[in-house]
Amino acid sequence: MASFKQWLNTFLGLNTHVVNNEFVEPLVRREDEQYNYRRWKNTTRHKQISDFLLQHYFYVAHRIIESDYLYTWNSPSSNGFFIKPCVQIEDHELLFLFEWFREKIPTLSYYCYTAEKQYHEQHNQMFQTDFIYFKPIIDINDAGPWNQQFGNIELHLYYKSREPIALKLMANVYSDRNYTKHLPFEQLLEIILKDKAI
């Protein structure tokens, strides 16, 4: 059986033997990217994609349908999805979804722990991953158990030859007794995509 890393590289269209030649830099958006994102989120296109992603995630996660471009992950320790460009979501719109998640997650009492661009070279091609790691805001002076909400949240945007090829959103939960039981991942999606209250 293939490892998760092998499966992911196959899903992203990468060689499973990645050369370890990496470097990182802070995740900062260009002015044109910010402008295009602001335009997108003020259109009906934003709502169409949000509705599609929420509904499609539900169908795939509950095995109602199978998908070639959406993969859901559900385990006791982590929940989330990977999505590739498709008819309903163009490759450049993965960047807009990434920025939408990046903007919404801190409104849920989360803070950005890490935000960076990671690069590696493979067979004379450059691959990039935009990566953000969010942690719930917890007051360790409280008696506990501490409210973990959805756990730690990872956001990844993968590129190949400067073109977005996949988006990943994952929640990794705390399992020890110092934390409350985590909230369902589907609730996180509803809050982010449909502006529902927590």
End-to-end Cα, the chain, rounded Å: 39
Confidence of residue 1 (pLDDT cuts 50, 70, 90): very low
**Amino acid identity, position 56:** H
Whether the per-residue pLDDT at 156 is higher than 50: the answer is yes
Whether the per-residue pLDDT at 189 is higher than 80: the answer is yes
The DSSP 8-state label assigned to residue 108 in this structure reads: G
List pLDDT tens digits, range 18-62: 445 567 889 999 999 999 999 999 999 989 999 999 999 999 999
**Contact (Cβ atoms closer than 8 angstroms) between residue 23 and residue 121:** no
Quick one: pLDDT at residue 69?
A: 94
Mean pLDDT of 175-179: 86
Q: How far apart are CA 31 and CA 36, in angstroms?
A: 9
| DSSP-assigned states of every residue in 130-182 | EEEEEEE---TTS-S-B--TT-EEEEEEEEETTEEEEEEEEEE---STTBPPP
Quick one: pLDDT at residue 18?
A: 43
Residue 53, C-beta contacts closer than 8 angstroms, at least 6 positions apart: 83, 89, 97, 189, 193
Confidence of residue 4 (pLDDT cuts 50, 70, 90): low
How far, in Å, are 61, 120, 129, 135, 151 from residue 102 at the CA level? Answer: 23, 23, 14, 12, 16
Whether the per-residue pLDDT at 14 is higher than 90: the answer is no
Residue ranges of domains in the chain: 28-194
Confidence of residue 121 (pLDDT cuts 50, 70, 90): confident
List pLDDT tens digits, range 61-105: 999 999 999 999 999 899 999 999 999 999 999 999 999 999 999
% the chain with pLDDT above 90: 68
**Amino acid identity, position 130:** D
Q: How far apart are CA 12 and CA 168, in angstroms?
A: 11
Whether the per-residue pLDDT at 13 is higher than 70: the answer is no
